[in-house]
Structure 1
Amino acid sequence: MSTSQPDASASRQPEDRTTPDRLLHARTGTDVSPEDLVLASGKDLTPRNLEWARRKLAAEGPAALDKLLP
């Protein structure tokens, strides 16, 4: 009686690989708005929070969003 063994090549499917870091970024390459930064931080869109986001974007640039998101 033969037993069925999975083919060794079947276990090396592309979906089994770890995703490279270069593909795990939150931004899509578009400009980051103060609204994006406020929402990513989990805060409400208020004038005070938007001003905070404007200052943060001015100081850190689009990387400010990358620091908030995984």
Structure 2
Amino acid sequence: MADGSPPDDGGTAGAGPKLTRVTIRKRYSGVIEGTLDGRQGTFVIQHGGSADGEDQSSDGSIVPHSGTDGRTGI
């Protein structure tokens, strides 16, 4: 879901750059290229990004302690 609604600005509208909060939920199922020593399990990736006009960037990292089964401790 991406609603694009502006966050509560605490009454400071117009005091700086426009802020927008977007919530996106993704679920992937299928084969991911590569293996983790043949171990099965799941883990959570926290993803973030920013945009400034046409300049965009994103990054992601594995949430600590989110691994299950053979991926515990990832």
- Confirm or deny a common fold (TM above 0.5): no
TM-score (norm 1): 0.24
Instruction: Compare the two structures and name the one with the higher strand fraction.
Output: 2
Q: Which has the larger radius of gyration?
A: 1
Structure with bigger RCO (C-alpha 8 Å, 6+ apart): 1
TM-score (norm 2): 0.24
